[in-house]
């Protein structure tokens, strides 16, 4: 078995506005797309051949990975076309499969040792224990064999869920072909598996490392977990009188100017200008081509490529899309006065994030004027312009102008 199929066709509507401009699997965690982390971990487990099932904004995946040679692997691409469910997605790769293979959900980060355990056991699926099983497919298990998968049970019978990682023989395609449309109008892989279980035993493999990215704020925990593993590497230019504490990674072409104070774990990408006299706090990931300037403080945030936070700004517990520019004095609030968990308005839904600290989820190409204020838990779509001194809160649609 030497093929890994990664599901990468979906848009990820629950993670908007970040996916208005990119597929979900290309969201950056510690400066690498989610799908790249799975490629690297699968490669570490011995996989050299990958098939990416693509669809929404597929050119971004193709242009980034090309043929895979940069990672010393081979990548093929299969376009799902109109998204018709996970069963349909896996079914489209049948012509490219000649023996057993593994499948990974592209928007969930797995551990390399767990991938290895799945590789070692044919006809198996990963199972993980969570505190909120009602959000996932709950798995019934008897004598380590899967007996049933229940989608989103209101009263879950256990906390063990379908983790979205599988080892299949070619027989799975026969069961996919026999699967009818679900109540959601899709061909669901879980329906195919429930039929397959009647004839073929499927082993449950408890996995240890699993991070699902369901909503934008889930990216923080994934970012923290990966940054906890980084080693300090300084490939950029660090001027005198800069303080680096803890593991800090600075990539080539970046200059860190005098008076800057950076606490790790933190990663700063290529060709950035950092400082002078800025403060970057732990669990921050700054992408390529960014400018973090004088008297600016960044805390526990993800700043995507080519964004500027250059003058007297505060950004905490936030995600800043690519190509953004924050005017001087822009401040992001990240804590309610009553210290309660933050509830966001997310495109028509009220969602309890279960986080006490959450700043802004900002799409691409947003610009703010001087002294703009962004309240806790704000969602700002792409291509929004915010005027000087404007107070922003709630959910802001793309292409809006606020004054």
Residues with catalytic function: 311
SS3 track for 224-250 = HHHHCCCCCEECCEECCCCEEECCEEE
Q: Residue 158: which of 182, 172, 142 has the closest Cα?
A: 142
Q: Compute how many other C-beta atoms are within 10 angstroms of the C-beta atom of residue 340.
A: 10
DSSP letters, 154-165, are SS-S-SEEEEEE
**Helices marked H in 203-316:** 218-227
C-alpha distances (whole Å) from 106 to each of 213, 308, 399 are: 10, 29, 29
Strands 343-346 and 349-352: what pairing?
antiparallel
Strand, helix or coil for residue 134 = helix
Alpha helices in 120-241 (DSSP H): 171-177, 189-197, 218-227
Say if CB 180 and CB 88 are below 8 A apart. no
Beginning with the edge strand found earlier in the chain, give each strand of the sheet holding 319-320 in spatial order.
233-234, 248-250, 266-268, 284-286, 302-303, 319-320, 360-362, 378-380, 395-396
Tokens of 319: 């995600």
Backbone φ, ψ for residue 371 (5° rounding): 60, 25
Closest CA relative to residue 116, chosen from 35, 168, 51, 46: 46
CA-CA distance, 22 to 51, in Å (whole number)?
Answer: 19
Report d(CA 41, CA 36) in Å as an integer. 9
Query: Are the beta carbons of 341 and 334 closer than 8 angstroms?
Result: no
């Amino acid at each position: 078995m030497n093929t890994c199929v990664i599901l990468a066709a979906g848009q990820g509507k629950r993670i908007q506005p970040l996916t208005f401009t990119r597929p979900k699997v290309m969201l950056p965690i510690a400066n690498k797309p989610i799908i790249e982390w799975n490629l690297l971990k699968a490669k570490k487990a011995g996989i050299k051949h990958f098939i990416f099932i693509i669809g929404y904004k597929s050119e971004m995946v193709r242009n980034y990975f090309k043929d895979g040679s940069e990672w010393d692997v081979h990548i093929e691409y299969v376009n799902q076309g109109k998204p018709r469910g996970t069963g349909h997605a896996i079914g489209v790769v049948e012509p490219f499969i000649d023996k057993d293979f593994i499948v990974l959900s592209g928007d969930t980060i797995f551990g390399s040792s767990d991938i290895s355990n799945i590789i070692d056991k044919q006809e198996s699926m990963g199972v993980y224990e969570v505190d909120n099983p009602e959000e996932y497919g709950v798995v019934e298990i008897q004598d380590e064999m899967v007996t049933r998968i229940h989608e989103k049970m209101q009263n879950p019978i256990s906390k063990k869920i379908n983790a979205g990682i599988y080892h299949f023989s070619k027989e799975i395609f026969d069961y996919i072909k026999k699967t009818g449309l679900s109540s959601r109008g899709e061909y669901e892989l879980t329906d195919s598996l429930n039929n397959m279980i009647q004839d073929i035993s499927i082993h449950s493999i408890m996995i240890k490392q699993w991070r699902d990215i369901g909503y934008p704020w889930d990216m923080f925990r994934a970012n923290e977990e990966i940054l906890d593993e980084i080693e300090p590497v300084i490939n950029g230019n660090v001027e005198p009188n800069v303080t680096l504490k803890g593991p800090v990674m600075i990539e080539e072409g970046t200059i860190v100017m005098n008076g800057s104070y950076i606490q790790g774990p933190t990663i700063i990408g290529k060709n950035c200008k950092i400082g002078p006299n800025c403060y970057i706090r732990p669990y921050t990931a700054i992408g390529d081509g960014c400018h973090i300037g004088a008297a600016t403080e960044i805390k526990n945030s993800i700043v995507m490529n080519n964004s500027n936070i250059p003058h007297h700004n505060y950004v905490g517990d936030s995600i800043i899309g690519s190509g953004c520019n924050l005017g001087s004095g822009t401040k992001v609030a990240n804590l309610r006065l009553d210290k309660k968990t933050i509830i966001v308005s997310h495109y028509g839904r009220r969602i309890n994030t279960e986080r006490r600290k959450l700043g802004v989820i900002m799409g691409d190409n947003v610009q703010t004027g001087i002294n703009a204020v962004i309240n806790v838990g704000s969602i700002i779509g792409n291509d929004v312009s915010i005027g000087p001194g404007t107070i922003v809160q709630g959910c802001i649609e793309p292409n809006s102008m606020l004054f």
